[in-house]
Structure 1
Amino acid sequence: MKFIQLIWGIAFIFSFPTLAQTKATVSIQNNSDLDRKEAVVSVKWDAVLSHFPQIDTTNFVVINLATKKQVSYQLEHLGNTSIQNLLVQVDVKAKSTLLLSIQKGKAAAIITKTYARYVPERKDDFAWENDKIAFRTYGKALEKQVGDAYGFDVWVKRTDRMILNERYKLADYHVDHGDGLDYYHVGFSLGAGNMAPYINDTIRYSGNYHHWKVLDNGPLRSTFQLMYDTWNAGGIQVKATKTISIDAGSQLNRIENQFTFDGNKPMPVVVGIIKRPEAGNILLNEQLGIVGYWEPTFEKDGTTGVGAILTTPVINMLVNKQQLLAKTTVKNNESIVYYAGAAWNKAGKITNSKKWFDYLNDFNQSIKNPLIVTVK
């Protein structure tokens, strides 16, 4: 009799892990005074597996425990075959905690909110977008040709749909057909927040990117790499890889650059924003590392706000006839991360310089006060 009781006791004890394997709970804590809206939050996949090892990646849902509604998600691979992170898009009020449940179930269709691709039909462009804004940069096929540009280009939009393929197919993207257009001028500048070596007080532009690789492509985050051939940067041989991520709901890209160059000394670099001849509104905050520019209105096409946020110490900021520049340094073969992007007044959300500069300041606060994620 005691033997049978022992067997039942062992079975009872070991039934708990089986129950624990049916779900995991994610806690997202916001300790800041800032509401986090449409935030794409990363949850380590290993942490999910440790609490829900039997999860079926083709048959699970993420539930907001307060509203009981499904939350949009993405399995992020970062170029690997295995899953690295679970991405969720949520709103988290200031000084509050949001609880999510990961459990078995059929997920509702998730709307694509980010997209990136190589565009061979348009001379090696690489273009990317989210539900707020779009960008492109130029490849080797356009280098030293008419229309070449060194920096990042902005494609403004006033729709949450993905529009890149439509615009390239239409081949008339300098005209607003109801969802936005390309009226941003880059030329021989860093455009909307590109970075380049700054040797002897001179910007040392690279050639256009040569190779590319998409690491993830939506629906909530698209990440890709652009590789640049070695160039002579004022007597220093430099090679660069730029890893760019765009999240749903964000006006800014996360840009992680890795420069390889000769020598052990840090190399000066600048993040730049092209300046227009007409008057615009400028924000330069060296202490916080924020550069903001609300361009002059361009006739019927509206007004673009452009900005960048550096996460490394800023040596100084300056404005010349052509660009707004923020100077910092990088170490050989070490990553440097910053954020850059744009907004358009005709999208109806950020309609003046104050709103744009407030957005940049709030974004900076969100970087400095990241959401705290735990899984149990």
Structure 2
Amino acid sequence: MSSIKFVLFSLTILICSSCFKETKSKYIVVKNSLTLERSFETVELTKEILNVNNLNNIGIKDVKSNELLLTQLVDLDGDGKMDQLLFQPQLLPTSEKKYEVVEISEEAKPKAEILCYSRFVPERTDDYAWENNKVAFRTFGPTAQKMIEDDVPGGTLSSGIDAWLKKVEYPIINKWYAKNDIRPGAYHEMSPEGLDNFHVGSSRGVGSTAVKKDADYYISKNFINWKTITTGPIRTSFVLDYADWDADGQVISEKKNVSLDYGNNLTRYEIDVTGTNFLSSGLTLHENDGEVTKNVKEGWISYWEPHGDSELGTAIVASAENMVASEYYVTTLQDRSNLYAQLKVTNNKVVFYAGYAWKESGQYPNKSSWENYLKEFSQKINSPLVVVVN
């Protein structure tokens, strides 16, 4: 990581004492128990946790450096009132940091570009697309499904997750769709920003879901409803609803609560699901000429493959207690060969992460560097930061 990137990622500014008013000595201590540096992990604070009536005028100040951290407010239920305050601390190995909760004007808050972004895309049938400074994805809606069912050209029947291979840190979703409007298929061609040459079809793409019954995997069709929750400098999140679907006699209901945080290559999926005790998340095998790595004990699986003129790694990560098995599933059915992680459903929920690293982006240019990232990511979600509010 270059020094320039580090400055951009830090997103903190030194503030003067006149810019904010101190609360009644309310502090937050964030503790890192691992022998790893920690960054790009998002702390979520609520009004209840902070014991305040309103989050709008709250800032988070690093006590030691006297710096005010970048924050993002999130309205989870759409009632116009902010429910969460987000920030990303940076911690050294086996260390802790102390932050002070301060009252601050809107004008004095640190500002940053919205790099964590998502939206519904009606101009390209009805995609839903999302990105941050590292990666970009999309998936497909009901109009695209109906076009296939009605034999109308240009549709897509898939609940798979498509990877848009970007190699720049600025947003590309709107730019790529705009050039596709002018010249259909333009984003499938290599540009200095990257391209979409990732084939999904009916595969699971990068982490979409399935239910295994006996020796077969069953999947949903396209999403039927969407809701954007937030976009910002730290997180974008949204919800995708799916029609109930059949897994050989089991009726499966599924809602995907999806979020992608700044600095992360992996999207977080929190799935509300009924009708099954286990849900599988899959990685397409494409030409089945890649290298499979299974590490169920630590909670991650990976597929590193030749891709076009380059190489690509995809992965699924979950808590070690929730990933119970993995299967290298190969079939003669088109696009149905996937590397699957089987995940335990608890109280009708399952949480996992899925994403990619493209060699051309320079982030993780080989299998070894990608898997090292996954190992560290796994350690972090299995030993999360401890946040204490005093």
Report the TM range for the smaller structure's normalisation. Answer: 0.7 to 0.9
1:174–1:97 Cα change, 3 Å: same
C-alpha displacement of 1:195: 1.0
Question: Conserved in 2, the CA contact under 8 Å of 1:76 and 1:85?
Answer: yes
Kindly indicate whether the alpha-carbon contact (under 8 Å) linking 1:195 and 1:272 is maintained by their aligned counterparts in 2.
yes
Distance change >3 Å, CA 270–CA 61, structure 1 → 2: closer
Tell me if 1:191 matches 2:205: yes
SS at match of 2:246: strand
RMSD, matched Cα: 2.1
Distance apart, 1:28 and its partner CA: 1.0
**Does the 8 Å contact 1:286/1:317 carry over to 2?**
no
Give secondary structure in 2 for the equivalent of 1:21: strand
Aligned partners of 1:158 and 1:22: how far apart in 2? 45
| 1:252-307 deviations in Å (ceiling 9; x for gaps) | 1110112233xxxx4443211011325322211122231101121412xx322110
Q: Which residue of 2 aligns with 1:250?
A: 264
Q: How many residues align?
A: 347
Secondary structure of the corresponding residue to residue 141 of structure 1: helix
Normalised by the length of structure 1, the TM-score is 0.86
Determine what percentage of the aligned residue pairs are the same residue. 29
**Is contact 1:278-1:296 (8 Å) kept?**
no
Work out the CA distance in 2 between the residues paired with 1:273 and 1:228. 20
Checking the alignment, whether the CA contact within 8 Å between 2:59 and 2:109 is kept in structure 1 is: yes
1:174 to 188, 201, 204: 188
TM-score of the superposition, structure 2-length normalised?
A: 0.83
Q: Say whether 1:274 aligns with 2:319.
A: no
Query: Which aligned pairs between 1:60-79 and structure 2 lie closer than 5 A?
Result: 60-79=58-77
Distance 1:113 1:93 in 2: 25
Q: In the alignment, which of 158, 161, 171 is matched to residue 170 of structure 2? A: 161
1:159 deviates by: 1.7
Q: Secondary structure at the match of 1:249?
A: coil
Q: 3-state SS of the aligned residue for 1:361?
A: helix
1:110 to partner: Cα distance: 2.3
Match of 2:362 in 1: 348
Number of the residue aligned with 1:9: none
Report the counterpart of residue 284 of structure 1 in structure 2. 294
Displacement, 1:115? 0.7
Q: Write the letter of the residue equivalent to 1:293.
A: Y
C-alpha change, 1:324 and 1:358, in structure 2 (3 Å) is same
Residue 325 of structure 2 corresponds to residue 326 of structure 1: no
CA contact (8 A) 1:56 1:104 kept: no
Q: How does 1:1-376 map to 2 (within 5 A)?
A: 21=23, 24-48=26-50, 50=51, 53=52, 57-58=56-57, 60-81=58-79, 82-105=81-104, 106-143=108-145, 145=148, 146-171=155-180, 172-261=186-275, 266-277=276-287, 279-299=289-309, 302-311=310-319, 312-320=322-330, 322-330=337-345, 334-376=348-390
The answer (yes or no) to whether the contact 2:23–2:103 under 8 Å persists in 1 is no
Q: Secondary structure at the match of 2:219?
A: coil
Which range moved further: 167-176 or 64-73? 64-73
For the Cα contact (< 8 Å) 2:74–2:82, is it kept in 1? yes
C-alpha distance in 2, partners of 1:214/1:128?
Answer: 10
Change (3 A) 1:28 1:325: same
Separation of aligned partners in 2, 1:163 and 1:343: 16
Q: Distance in 2 between matches of 1:96 and 1:152?
A: 37
Q: CA deviation at 1:317?
A: 2.6
2:55–2:73 CA contact under 8 A, matched in 1: no
Structure 1 residues 353 and 65: CA distance shift in structure 2, 3 A: same
The secondary structure found in structure 2 opposite 1:196 is: strand
Deviation at 1:20, TM superposition (A): 6.8
